[in-house]
């Protein structure tokens, strides 16, 4: 028994000493709106594992590779809609695109909220638009600001920035190809920072590390089984210096990094505005138009949302791209042939070429389908009791769209496990109409920066394909070093585990262009 307890409480073993709080747990559970329904409620909850006394399904939640585990549950419980509960909190997993579209889009008024997670405020992430509550005025104001700046007809203003950073990455790959992951991070964070802050804030390794570390810790702290702090916020008052208070230290460190990421860049821009030496950008233009404290909070919140969320997912997608190009030379060759035919070899491709390069866009779509950066998406919340397909969905239920299961649905994507960009190319050689990228989410909480993300990935992919050959690395005997197919399976955003590959210029002309 002790071994089982240690396995599930290893992130915060201090909680083992708090078994005396059982009375508090019972009080909480018995007064929760949902706990009694675990065993006694006659309303028909969706299928799922049977809850245990008091803790519900705490020990049933997948600790690793949760999206794939929920696909196995679909077979086990013969349902694409799955239910679990924990300490009175209901959880719903949607493995079907059809169900996600009905609940999260057609019934968006009921399912556009975010779960109530006390850790959001504790970590300093309350100003992150992604996790704001649906009915809050703050979310409406942040969303309006983001839509004004990132709508489809506005993103062409950022093409120069994206192209510049893509070309900088080409130079990095030319000089130190073995450091391609570092160049990937520099591109992803550099684009986000430059769009928001222009050339006023110089991005360096400190921003890259801080952004990566803060996102990693925050995303883990928000997982339902990583810590009990979201169920019992009072536990957060245990001091971080207390022995084995792992989660409390992560909260402290996340808040410290977040404070730096939110405050420092905008202060730099404000000081440059005062001296008249400011580079025009979203932040500077917005502050000059309205320098009120309220507007500054909105600007800093959206900026933080952009370069923590967008950067991490772009890093994930680009790592997948390198991996897939190294392991699919025939697809890489087909893409390069298209570029050579449509663009030529005497210049680098640009955004003006995108319409002439349907296969590049097909690669972009297939990369995000084959390995979505966020396999389980960001959870929604039911604001009222609801019924769907005869199932009862209690108010407050946390609803997650299993994007991984949807992109592996053979009825939608035949041979779904195969990386095949041609699935998005029609008989006429042009892109088919299926341009929806499920990785961007659903309904009112769909990623507002999806058009910027699309443009960033396009210009990076096409620039690299035009100038480099990506192949498997060789060992001392000249034999291929097989690339591992492993991804991180903890946290929110999935990242390709480190691997080696060979990245060399396609020709002397390519080297000269770079």
111 Cβ neighbours under 8 A, 6+ residues apart: 103, 104, 380, 381, 382, 383, 399, 443
Residue whose token pair is 């950022």: 158
CB 496 within 8 A of CB 316: yes
CB 309 within 8 A of CB 301: no
Residue whose token pair is 């730099």: 268
Q: How far apart are CA 401 and CA 380, in angstroms?
A: 8
Q: How far apart are CA 431 and CA 427, in angstroms?
A: 9
Q: What DSSP character marks residue 431?
A: B
105 Cβ neighbours under 8 A, 6+ residues apart: 442, 443
CB 104 within 8 A of CB 380: yes
Inter-axis angle of helices 358-370 and 329-342, to 10 degrees? 150
Name the region of 244 (left: φ>0; alpha: ψ -120 to 50; beta: rest).
Answer: left
Residue whose token pair is 């088919």: 432
What is the token pair recorded at 342?
Answer: 């449509």
What sections of 306-383 are H helices per DSSP?
311-327, 329-342, 358-370
Residue whose token pair is 């949760």: 66
Residue 94, beta-bridge partner list: 81, 401
CB 191 within 8 A of CB 314: yes
23 Cβ neighbours under 8 A, 6+ residues apart: none
Per DSSP, which regions of 105-152 are E strands? none
DSSP 48-107: -PPPBTTTBTTTTS-SS-HHHHHHHHHHHHT-SEEEEEETTEEEEEE--HHHHIIIIIIT
Name the region of 327 (left: φ>0; alpha: ψ -120 to 50; beta: rest).
Answer: alpha
Q: Is 4 exposed, middle or buried (0-12, 13-18, 19+ CB in 10 A)?
A: exposed
Is 86 within any annotated ligand binding site?
Answer: no
C-alpha 96, offset from chain centre: 20
Q: What DSSP character marks residue 306?
A: I
List binding-site positions for heme: 447
List binding-site positions: 447
């Amino acid at each position: 028994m002790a071994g089982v307890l240690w396995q599930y409480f290893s992130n915060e073993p201090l909680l083992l000493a708090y078994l005396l709080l059982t009375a508090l747990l019972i009080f909480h559970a018995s007064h929760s709106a949902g706990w009694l329904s675990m065993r006694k409620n006659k309303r028909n909850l969706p299928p799922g594992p049977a809850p245990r006394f008091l803790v519900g399904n705490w020990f049933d939640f997948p600790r690793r590779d949760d999206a794939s585990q929920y696909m196995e549950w679909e077979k086990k419980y013969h349902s694409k809609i799955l239910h679990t509960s924990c300490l009175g909190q209901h959880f719903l997993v949607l493995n079907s695109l059809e169900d996600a579209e009905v609940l999260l889009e057609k019934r968006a008024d009921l399912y556009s909220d975010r779960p109530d997670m006390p850790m959001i405020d504790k970590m300093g992430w309350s100003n992150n638009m992604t996790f704001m509550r649906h009915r809050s005025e703050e979310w409406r104001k942040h969303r309006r600001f983001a839509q004004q700046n990132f709508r489809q007809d506005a993103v062409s203003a950022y093409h120069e920035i994206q192209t510049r950073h893509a070309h900088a990455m080409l130079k990095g790959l030319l000089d130190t190809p073995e450091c391609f992951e570092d160049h990937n991070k520099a591109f992803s964070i550099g684009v986000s920072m430059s769009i928001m802050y222009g050339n006023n804030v110089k991005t360096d390794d400190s921003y890259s590390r801080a952004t990566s570390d803060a996102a990693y810790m925050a995303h883990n702290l928000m997982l339902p089984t990583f810590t009990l702090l979201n169920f019992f916020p009072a536990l957060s008052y245990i001091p971080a210096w207390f022995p084995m208070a792992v989660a409390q230290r992560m909260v402290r460190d996340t808040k410290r990094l977040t404070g730096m990421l939110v405050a420092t860049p905008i202060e730099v821009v404000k000081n440059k505005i005062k001296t008249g030496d400011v580079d025009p950008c979203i932040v500077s233009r917005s502050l000059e138009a309205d320098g009120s404290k309220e507007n500054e909070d909105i600007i800093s919140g959206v900026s933080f949302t952009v370069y923590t969320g967008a950067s991490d997912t772009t890093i994930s997608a680009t790592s997948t791209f390198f991996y897939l190009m190294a392991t699919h030379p025939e697809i890489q060759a087909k893409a390069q042939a298209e570029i050579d035919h449509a663009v030529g070899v005497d210049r680098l491709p640009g955004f003006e070429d995108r319409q002439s390069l349907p296969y590049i866009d097909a690669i972009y779509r297939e990369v995000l389908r084959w390995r979505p950066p966020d396999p389980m998406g960001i959870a929604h919340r039911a604001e009222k009791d609801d019924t769907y397909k005869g199932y009862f969905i209690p108010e407050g239920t946390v609803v997650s769209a299993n994007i991984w299961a949807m992109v592996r649905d053979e009825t939608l994507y035949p041979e779904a496990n195969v990386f095949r960009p041609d699935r998005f190319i029609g008989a006429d050689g042009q892109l088919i109409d299926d341009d929806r990228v499920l990785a961007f989410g659903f309904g009112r909480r769909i990623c507002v920066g999806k058009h910027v993300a699309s443009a960033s990935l396009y210009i990076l992919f096409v620039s690299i394909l035009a100038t480099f050959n990506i192949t498997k690395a060789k060992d001392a005997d000249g034999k291929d070093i097989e690339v591992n197919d492993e991804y991180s399976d903890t946290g929110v955003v999935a990242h390709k585990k480190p691997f080696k590959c060979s990245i060399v210029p396609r020709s002397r002309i390519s080297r000269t262009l770079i």
